[in-house]
């Protein structure tokens, strides 16, 4: 249960920092907000699905442990943490200076990764 609470807390914190950033910089845009909520919902469903796979594999007697939940949860938490850092850096110039090298490196790697679907 703690895994789910942790992931949901990261998601909620990202939503909060994103809303604050939007209000401070551009204003709320319902289209962007709706698209973001669909992304957050898909993350929640992915974590729940990984948990179902991990715990369900035992009940349907696959004979194999599938440690999907921790891996998926870890990935989503790291992804949310990066987004939170981006949001906070856009709000505070001091934080931007601190995280700029890290954020630039991530953006550079993202441009080089052609496997990411554009939505």
**pLDDT 10s digits, 94-115:** 988 888 888 877 777 777 775 5
Tell me if 61 is assigned to some domain: yes
Measuring CA to CA, which residue among 42, 43, 50, 78 is closest to residue 66? 50
Specify the residue for token string 């950033």: 21
Question: What is the tally of structural domains in the chain?
Answer: 1
How many Å apart are CA 73 and CA 33, to the nearest integer? 23
| Any domain includes 36 | yes
Domain-located, residue 119: no
Decide if 82 is inside a domain. yes
Domain with 54, as residue range(s), is 2-104
Q: Evaluate whether residue 111 is within a structural domain.
A: no
Q: Is residue 68 part of a domain?
A: yes
Contact of 103 with 89, CB cutoff 8 Å = yes
Query: What's the DSSP call for residue 45?
Result: H
The string of pLDDT tens digits covering residues 41-92 is: 999 999 999 999 998 887 888 788 888 999 999 999 999 999 999 999 989 9
């Amino acid at each position: 249960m703690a895994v789910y609470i942790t992931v949901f807390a990261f998601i909620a914190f990202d939503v909060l920092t994103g809303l604050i950033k939007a209000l401070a910089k551009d204003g709320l845009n319902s289209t962007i907000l709706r698209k973001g909520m669909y992304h957050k919902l898909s993350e929640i469903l992915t974590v729940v699905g990984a948990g179902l796979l991990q715990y369900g594999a035992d009940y349907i007697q696959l004979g194999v442990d599938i440690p999907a939940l921790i891996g998926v949860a870890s990935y989503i938490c790291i992804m949310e943490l990066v987004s939170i850092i981006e949001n906070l850096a856009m709000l505070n110039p001091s934080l931007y200076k601190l995280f700029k090298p890290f954020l630039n490196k991530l953006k550079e790697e993202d441009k080089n990764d052609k496997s990411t679907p554009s939505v």
